[in-house]
């Protein structure tokens, strides 16, 4: 065989190999993913894949929680170097970063920021230490915590789904095309990056550009929680919405989940049913409606139920629970059964059911005065279909909880997406006694937290939009023992922070509007060890700032109103505690 023939044969051979590799082979792979066998496997797990993708979208949405730094637009312009000198400023103008995240400063400020990062973060990035800021950062922390847990659970869930169908897939395809298997099954890409954590940078550069230093503060979960503690310590707010939110620690979240047996309190789904279930902590009475962060006002919800509940308040005996209306257990076994029904009788995996869908047990419900729900509707049938739907939703809401007229209209509009006009017509077509609704709301509030008379009236008026006269009549009709309410409030305060006797009485009087006599009786009835309270206050101070023992005694005595002996005991015990931790490390 001639040399030319050999060369030609080799060329043909390599062209054939290239053709098979780049044309035939991809067509074979494509045909596998388009084949009936793969599509049947995909259909079998489609519902689980859709739930995975929905959780993925929820997690990505939570990553966008940090909007505080973007709330202010400081503007932009053109920076140029007009110096006559031959300075080495080749990148001086181009290094100017987004001024919302980077502060150009002196070398001494960079060093000081390294020593006291939270103090300089507030000072140079216009983060005001107020209740609104504390609320925003706490919300970010709650959402970021869910993101970090959700990423791990989501990846595990995806792997569990793929593993459950692995015997039905080609081993070769699964081994060499795992990413494409995920894509063809319909999984959306899971981002495991931590780049969503905000990073603030203090940057120094000399005039010539030869000397530079940076200090970058990334607000990850640990630093966010410590920063929230720093803000709360500055504000010393305990009964405001922001102050109560700041008490929601990672440890408390885990304790609530353990108490609730890692199960959702609405749909009853638990981690034993669904190993990769994302659980979140919810305030039974939302903070915006006067709820507090204490164990009795916290519950575990799955992410779907928590998102659906929003700011609603469910009465404990009428929580919409699929487990109470359908005896069938959600099938979460792996692999999913091939015989899963696909007809209209298929189990609805959406959790919880919409509030506007009444269960059989609620259709003939009656109120305490014997009136049925239907009797509450005014005569008149000239309602459009959206108005009739809004009417049914309104009936469901007022059966679960108390609402003012304005509050009920807003609930229908903001949570159920009815237009305001339809919501208004629906609410006004119901013959609702708003004073009775105010009584119901007041009962919900005092069940979970302590209120003074004035504080409860303000809560109903300012947060729930009841008119002052209805709120006043409702509160006065309940025959509440205000001293007992003051005791309840005092217990909430000392559960989470240290107070002197005088400081606790002032807190109840000035912040919660209890009369001084009721506050005094409540505090003195609790038999509190004020020295131990001083220890608790001292530890709070040392956690976020540096103090000498003498300085700490003065802080406790002069600012927190502890007696000199109590302050001395508290400071000494706290300093010993910190010293023991330091020696162990």
Q: What is the CATH number of the domain that holds 255?
A: 1.10.30
- How would residue 348 be classed by pLDDT, with cut points 50, 70 and 90? very low
Buried b (16+ CB within 10 A) or exposed e, 91-123: ebeeeeeeebebbebeeebbebbeeebbbbbbe
Q: Provide the pLDDT for residue 315.
A: 53
For the four alpha carbons of 339, 340, 344 and 346, in that order, the dihedral sign comes to positive
Q: Which residue would you say has higher pLDDT here, 420 or 583?
A: 420
The reply to whether 242 and 181 lie within a common domain is no
Share of the chain above pLDDT 70, in %: 76
pTM of the model: 0.50
pLDDT, mean of residues 5-22:
85
In a domain, 116, yes or no: no
- Cα 574 to its chain centre, rounded Å, is 33
pLDDT of residue 533: 92
Q: How confident is the model at residue 365 (pLDDT cuts 50, 70, 90)?
A: very low
User: What value does the mean pLDDT take over residues 288-316?
Assistant: 76
Query: How far is residue 333's CA from residue 55's CA, in Å, rounded to a whole number?
Result: 19
Any idea which of 114-128, 132-146, 310-324, 474-488 has the lowest mean pLDDT? Answer: 310-324
Give CA–CA dist 79/104, Å, rounded: 14
- Evaluate whether residue 229 is within a structural domain: no
The two structure tokens encoding residue 394: 């309104």
Residue 204 lies in a domain: no
**CA geometry: angle 408, 409, 413, nearest 5 deg:** 115
pLDDT of residue 91: 52
Higher pLDDT, 361 or 215: 215
Residue 32 and residue 171 in one domain: yes
Q: Is 500 exposed, middle or buried (0-12, 13-18, 19+ CB in 10 A)?
A: buried
The per-residue pLDDT for 303 is 86
Look at residue 347 in the predicted model and tell me its pLDDT.
33
pLDDT at site 336: 38
Residue whose structure tokens are 């009465």: 315
More confident residue, 575 or 142: 575
Residue ranges of E strands in 74-208: 102-104, 199-205
User: Both 259 and 169 in a single domain?
Assistant: no
Same domain, yes or no: 476 and 415 = yes
**Residue 281 shares a structural domain with residue 152:** no
Specify the range with the lowest mean pLDDT, choosing from 89-103, 327-341, 368-382, 490-504. Answer: 327-341
- Percent of the chain scoring above 90 in pLDDT: 15
Place of tokens 């469910």: 314
Give the three-class secondary structure for 446.
helix
170 and 265 within one domain:
no
Q: What is the pLDDT of residue 61?
A: 79
Distances (CA, A) of 447 to 246, 252, 441: 22, 21, 10
For residues 154 and 276, the answer to whether their CB atoms sit within 8 Å is: yes
Q: Partners of 200 in the beta sheet? A: 217
Query: What integer is the mean pLDDT of 447-462?
Result: 87
> Where is the domain boundary, 309, 328, 350?
309
- Which of the four pLDDT bands, split at 50, 70 and 90, describes residue 335? very low
What mean pLDDT is predicted for residues 73-93?
56
Domain stop point among 143, 162, 185: 185
β strands within 331-374, DSSP E: none
Q: Do 272 and 405 fall into the same domain?
A: no
What is the rounded average pLDDT of the residues 292-306? 83
Averaged over 456-469, what is the pLDDT?
88
Averaged confidence pLDDT in the chain: 77
* Tokens (6 digits) for 559: 């600012």
Domain presence at residue 535: no
pLDDT tens for 96-111 read 555 568 888 878 788 8
Segment 559-567 shows an average pLDDT of 90
Report which of 378, 283, 361 is spatially closest to residue 323, judged by C-alpha positions.
Answer: 361
3-state secondary structure (DSSP) of residue 216: strand
Q: Does the structure show a pLDDT above 50 at 329?
A: no
Answer yes or no: is pLDDT of 50 > 60. Answer: yes
Query: Quick one: pLDDT at residue 208?
Result: 59
Instruction: Indicate whether 239 pLDDT > 80.
Output: no
Q: Is residue 47 part of a domain?
A: yes
pLDDT class for 194, splitting at 50, 70, 90?
Answer: low
| Residue 225 counted as domain residue | no
CA distance 580 to 585: 9
* 270 and 408 within one domain: no
| 489-503, 544-558, 561-575, range with greatest mean pLDDT | 561-575
Q: Could you tell me if 416 and 271 lie in one domain?
A: no
Of 460, 480, 500, the residue that ends a domain is 480
pLDDT at residue 317 above 80?
Answer: no
Same domain, 139 and 57: yes
231 is a domain residue: no
For residues 297 and 150, state if they share a domain. Answer: no
Domains identified in the chain, total number: 3
* Whether 154 and 259 share a structural domain: no
Residue 470 has pLDDT above 50, yes or no: yes
Q: For residue 167, give the DSSP letter.
A: G
Q: Could you list the residue range(s) of the whole structural domain that residue 248 is in?
A: 238-309
Burial of 421 (0-12, 13-18, 19+ CB in 10 A): middle
Residue 444 lies in a domain: yes
């Amino acid at each position: 065989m001639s040399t030319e023939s050999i060369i030609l044969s080799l060329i043909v051979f390599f062209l054939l190999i290239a053709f098979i590799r780049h044309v035939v082979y991809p067509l074979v792979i494509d045909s596998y993913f388009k084949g009936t066998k793969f599509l049947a496997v995909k259909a079998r797990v489609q519902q689980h894949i859709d739930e995975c993708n929905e959780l993925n979208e929820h997690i990505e949405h939570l990553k966008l929680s940090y909007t505080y730094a973007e709330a202010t637009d400081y503007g932009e312009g053109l920076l140029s170097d007009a110096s006559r000198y031959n300075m080495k400023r080749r990148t001086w103008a181009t290094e100017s970063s987004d001024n919302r995240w980077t502060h150009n400063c002196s070398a001494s400020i960079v060093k000081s920021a390294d020593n006291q990062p939270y103090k300089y973060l507030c000072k140079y990035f216009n983060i005001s230490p107020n209740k609104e800021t504390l609320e925003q950062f706490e919300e970010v922390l709650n959402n970021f915590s869910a993101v970090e847990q959700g990423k791990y659970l989501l990846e595990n869930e995806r792997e569990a789904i793929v593993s459950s169908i692995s015997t039905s897939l080609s081993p070769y395809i699964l081994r060499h095309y795992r990413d494409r298997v995920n894509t063809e099954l319909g999984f959306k890409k899971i981002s495991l990056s931590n780049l969503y954590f905000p990073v603030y940078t203090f940057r120094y550069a000399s005039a010539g550009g030869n000397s530079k230093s940076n200090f970058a503060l990334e607000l990850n979960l640990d630093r966010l929680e410590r920063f929230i503690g720093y803000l709360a310590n500055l504000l010393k707010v305990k009964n405001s919405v922001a102050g109560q939110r700041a008490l929601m620690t990672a440890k408390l979240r885990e304790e609530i989940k353990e108490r609730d047996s890692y199960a959702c309190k609405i749909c009853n789904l638990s981690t034993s049913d669904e190993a990769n279930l994302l659980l979140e902590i919810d305030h039974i009475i939302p903070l915006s409606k006067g709820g507090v962060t204490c164990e009795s006002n916290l519950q575990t919800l799955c992410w779907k139920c928590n998102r659906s509940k929003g700011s609603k308040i469910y009465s404990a005996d009428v929580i919409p629970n699929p487990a109470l209306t359908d005896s069938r257990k959600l099938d979460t076994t792996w692999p999913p059964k091939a015989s899963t029904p696909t007809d209209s009788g298929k189990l609805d995996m959406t959790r919880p059911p919409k509030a506007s869908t009444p269960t059989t047990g609620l259709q003939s419900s009656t109120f305490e005065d014997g009136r049925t729900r239907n009797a509450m509707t005014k005569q008149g049938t000239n309602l459009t279909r959206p108005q009739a739907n809004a009417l049914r939703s309104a009936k469901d809401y007022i059966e679960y909880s108390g609402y003012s007229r304005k509050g009920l209209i807003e609930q229908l509009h903001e949570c159920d997406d009815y237009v305001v006009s339809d919501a208004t017509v629906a609410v006004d077509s119901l013959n609702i006694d708003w004073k009775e609704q105010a009584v119901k709301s007041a009962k919900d509030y005092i069940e979970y937290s302590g209120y003074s008379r004035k504080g409860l009236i303000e809560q109903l008026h300012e947060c729930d939009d009841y008119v002052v006269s209805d709120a006043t009549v409702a509160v006065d009709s309940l025959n509440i023992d205000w001293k007992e309410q003051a005791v309840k409030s005092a217990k909430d305060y000392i559960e989470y922070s240290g107070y002197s006797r005088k400081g606790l009485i002032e807190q109840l009087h000035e912040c919660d509007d209890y009369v001084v006599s009721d506050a005094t009786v409540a505090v003195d009835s609790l038999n509190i060890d004020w020295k131990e309270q001083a220890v608790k206050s001292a530890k709070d101070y040392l956690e976020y700032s540096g103090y000498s023992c003498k300085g700490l005694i003065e802080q406790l005595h002069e600012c927190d109103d502890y007696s000199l002996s109590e302050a001395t005991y508290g400071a000494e015990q706290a300093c010993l505690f910190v010293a023991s931790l330091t020696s162990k490390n």
